[in-house]
Every structure is written in C-alpha cells, then in structure tokens.
Amino acid sequence: AKNVGILAMEIYFPPTFVQQEALEAHDGASKGKYTIGLGQDCLAFCTEVEDVISMSLTVVTSLLEKYQIDPKQIGRLDVGSETVIDKSKSIKTFLMQIFEKCGNTDIEGVDSTNACYGGTAALFNCVNWVESSSWDGRYGIVVCTDSAVYAEGPARPTGGAAAIAMLIGPDAPIAFESKLRGSHMSHVYDFYKPNLASEYPVVDGKLSQTCYLFALDTCYKYFCHKYEKLEGKQFSLSDADYFVFHSPYNKLVQKSFARLLFNDFMRNASSIDDIAKEKLGPFSSLTGDESYQSRDLEKASQQVSKPLYDAKVQPTTLIPKQVGNMYTASLYAAFASLLHNKNSGLAGKRVLLFSYGSGLTATLFSLRLHEGQHPFSLSNIATVMDVAGKLKSRHEFPPEKFVETMKLMEHRYGANDFVTSKDCSLLSPGTYYLTEVDSKYRRFYAKK
C-alpha cells in the first residue's frame, strides 16, 4: 500500500463549556491569567450524561455515516485514551456495538495508553497495519477520546474534552512520511494517575513544562538527523509549512515553536536571518539546563519567532484554544483546526506534528498533504467536520455550574448502581449519552 495515512476525519466535543475569562474571575485569579497567561479562550467539559465512551460512539458513528463507509469495510480499530473507566475492558470493545449489528466482528486492535500519547500510538499501529503483510485490504479507524479534568487549583483551567475519529488507508490525502520521525521516551513523574479511585492526575506542572520542551528539542534533533541522512541537506523550519503541537494550553505551543527556532539558531541553520542571530546571540553560551530556565531567552525567542508562528502555527490553534486540553485528541484537534482554516490550500504542503504524553513518551513526525479524491479530499474533510458550526452551537455554563458538575463527577467516577438525568436537551441529534450504570457496573447508552 502506498501513501498510507488519514483518508477522513470527524471531531466531537461536548456542547457544554465555560469561558476562561469567567473562570478566572470565579477562581480569584488575576485578570488575564487564563486568557493571556495560558492563552486559552474556553474549556469544554462532559456533563453527567457524557463520557469518553459516549463521545467515541458518537464520533465513530458520525464518521461512518458522513463518509458513507459500510461498517463491514473496517478491519482494524485502535483507540487512544488515558481516561480509565475500566482497568480491563477496552473502550474499543464498547465501539464494537456499532460493527456487531452489521455482522462485522472481524476487527483487530485494542486501546493504547500513555497520557496524551495514546492516540499517536494507536495511529502508528493502524498505519503500520495497512503498510504490513497482515493488511486485508480494508480500512482502519483510529479513535482518540479523553475527558481532561483536574482537581481545583492552577491546573483546573487546562482541562477539556473531545473525541476524534480518523479513517486510515492507502492513497490518503494526508499521507505519512514514515521515514521522517524522531522520538524521545524516558521515565519521569511529571503527570501520572496513581490514584485509581480518582479521575484526577497527580501533576507537577513546572516539571511537565520542562519535560515537554526537552522532549521537543530531543525529538527535533533526531528528526533533523534522519532528514539530513535521507535528503543529504540540513533541515530547518523553512522545510515544513505548518507545525502542529500537542496543546495543553496555547502558551506552551507559543513557547514550543520559539524553542524550535532557537534549535535552528544553535545549529546555525541557513533559515535564521541576521535579526534573529543578533537577538539570540547572547544566549548561545547557555547550557541546556540554563536554556530551560532563562526567561530572557523565552521572551527573545518568542519575539523573534512571532511572524513565523503567525504563518505556520496560528492556523492550528483554534480548537485547542476553544475546547482546552483534549489529551490524546489534542494534537489531532489542532491538526483539524488547520484543515478547517486552510483545507484545499494544504495540497502539496508538509506538516510536522509533535505528540507528547507525560511519563513520558514523545514523537515528532511528518505528513505530506494532497487534495485527494472525493469523499476523501481535504476540502470535504473540512466540510464534514464543520468546526465553525459545532463551535457556534455550544452552550455556555457559568463557572458555578462547571464546579458543581466536577463535584458530581467525582462521586460518579468508579461508582455503580445509578441512573443519570438522561437530559440530552443540549446534545445535537445523533449524539450518544449515558443513561445508567447498573449494580454490576455495566454501562448503558442511548442515542439522541
């Protein structure tokens, strides 16, 4: 199979959200801390009738319907998620309900988990299957689904929720450049979920920021090295048209791109102009460790990279800013934002994606885009996802209601023997929702 990659995409996020500006005031944070300091606009969250399973049921059903894919045509289904509802039964098995009723139980794949990286692991597994000798000619589906919730405190505004489904196959408009990849994996306690009775992570925020940037630097080094070996020339920011980052909050994305430019400067890449050389010059003698601590470097590199950021990164930031951190779905929601903003204009472009999962696992990889044939075309994917329509039809909740929902969900997490309100009035038609968890912890869903 040639040009294996993403043929089609669909995204779902809950219609319920809070404004970061309102949350800021409610939390007693200084004005601008969440909106400018973190760079976030809104935070989407699941109410008691939605969870990672309902969102993934919704998004997979919608993907199949909107691209008119016969469920029998699916031969593999991989799920990435870090939202644990069951320690043994995979989310993938819940999704089998969609396929079983069409007589298809011949579907490989289960769930992949490591913080926000599980979706990328699932995607690589699925792409590898299509490229392998075990491929049977059918399509694969990759689902990224997460509800990101934090305990009260500085991390809470970096929550979010969404599910994304991607159809995988050959001759894709979004094709992998599989040889162009750099990974960095290591043992760190920056963000983890050791308390199995709680949905909330244990998080060392500052450490997680440094780990993220260090992983980015390291992946970029390996990536550049591989590119140089293959192409016989230096790689620099000018060799890719867009950069998509895992987006816990937008400020980290701004810092990340600035960091890549600093990497180019340190490697003396030809793409660095004289102004950048002059502004970054004073930082060339910093040690690696010092470079992560230097506020002046952060400021200078962000300033120098601003015009390039506006061109190569800003078009990827819409959904992450509007929805928040979607964990495994975050990187792909950023990529969906790019498709939404540029669609057909992306034909012929190279896009680099940086996936980061705390703990930690990270990969920088490359995609090459082509317009493709209907229904698997860049313009049709943008139309089907209808990002603008979905954002517009949301319902704003006051922070008090958000906090109240978080409290209720704390009790519901891991609980059994309850029915939900079954109130699906805010959900759009076709959305799945949770109705009941019985005394044997079995979960039941209905479709609006």
Catalytic entry in 116, 126, 211, 224: 116
* Residue 157 CB, nearest approach to ligand ACO (Å): 6
Does residue 155 belong to the site contacting ligand ACO (CB under 6 A)? Answer: yes
Note if 246 is an active site residue: yes
Does residue 212 belong to the site contacting ligand ACO (CB under 6 A)? Answer: yes
Does residue 133 belong to the site contacting ligand ACO (CB under 6 A)? Answer: no
User: What is the CA 206 to chain-centroid distance, rounded?
Assistant: 21
Task: Assess contact for 437 and 415: CB atoms under 8 A.
Answer: yes
| C-beta of 62 vs 328, nearer to ligand ACO | 328
* Residue 327 CB, nearest approach to ligand ACO (Å): 7
Note if 225 is an active site residue: no
* Residue 107 CB, nearest approach to ligand ACO (Å): 30
328: which 2 tokens?
């495994």
Among 30, 105, 425, 439, binds ligand ACO (CB under 6 A): 30
| C-beta of 194 vs 232, nearer to ligand ACO | 194
Task: Assess contact for 148 and 158: CB atoms under 8 A.
Answer: yes
* Residue 4 CB, nearest approach to ligand ACO (Å): 28
Task: Assess contact for 281 and 266: CB atoms under 8 A.
Answer: no
| C-beta of 94 vs 220, nearer to ligand ACO | 220
* Residue 274 CB, nearest approach to ligand ACO (Å): 27
- Considering only CA atoms, which of 397, 368, 372 is closest in space to residue 384? 372
73: which 2 tokens?
């045509």
Catalytic entry in 184, 246, 340, 370: 246
Region 241-270 residues binding ligand ACO, contact defined as CB under 6 A: 248, 251-252
Task: Assess contact for 96 and 105: CB atoms under 8 A.
Answer: yes
State how beta strands 242-245 and 350-357 pair.
parallel
Does residue 32 belong to the site contacting ligand ACO (CB under 6 A)? Answer: yes
Task: Assess contact for 140 and 125: CB atoms under 8 A.
Answer: no
> Across the chain, which distance is largest between two alpha carbons, in Å?
68
Residues 6+ apart with CB under 8 A from 3: 170, 171, 172, 175, 370
| DSSP H stretches of helix in 343-393 | 378-385, 387-392
Does residue 36 belong to the site contacting ligand ACO (CB under 6 A)? Answer: yes
| C-beta of 158 vs 361, nearer to ligand ACO | 158
Catalytic entry in 24, 82, 199, 298: 82
Cis peptide before 375 (omega within 30 of 0): yes
Does residue 144 belong to the site contacting ligand ACO (CB under 6 A)? Answer: no
Of 32-40, 69-77, 100-108, 396-404: span binding ligand ACO (CB under 6 A): 32-40
Does residue 33 belong to the site contacting ligand ACO (CB under 6 A)? Answer: yes
Cis peptide before 360 (omega within 30 of 0): yes
Of 25-33, 136-144, 231-239, 309-317: span binding ligand ACO (CB under 6 A): 25-33
Q: HSE on the CB side for 220, CA within 13 Å?
A: 25
Of 30-38, 72-80, 219-227, 228-236: span binding ligand ACO (CB under 6 A): 30-38
Query: Cα(8)–Cα(5) distance, rounded to whole angstroms?
Result: 9
Which residue type sits at 65?
E
Among 43, 203, 213, 326, binds ligand ACO (CB under 6 A): 203
233: which 2 tokens?
């020339």
Does residue 158 belong to the site contacting ligand ACO (CB under 6 A)? Answer: yes
Task: Assess contact for 46 and 427: CB atoms under 8 A.
Answer: no
Note if 374 is an active site residue: no
Among 37, 71, 375, 414, binds ligand ACO (CB under 6 A): 37
Among 71, 178, 198, 205, binds ligand ACO (CB under 6 A): 205
Q: Where are the beta strands (DSSP E) in 242-399?
A: 242-245, 350-357, 361-369, 395-396
User: How many of the other CB atoms lie within 10 Å of CB of 142?
Assistant: 29
Does residue 358 belong to the site contacting ligand ACO (CB under 6 A)? Answer: yes
Of 53-61, 208-216, 380-388, 437-445: span binding ligand ACO (CB under 6 A): 208-216
Give the interface with ligand ACO as residue ranges (CB under 6 A). Answer: 30-33, 36-38, 116, 154-155, 158, 191, 203, 205, 208-209, 212, 248, 251-252, 325, 358
By annotation, the residues acting in catalysis are: 82, 116, 246
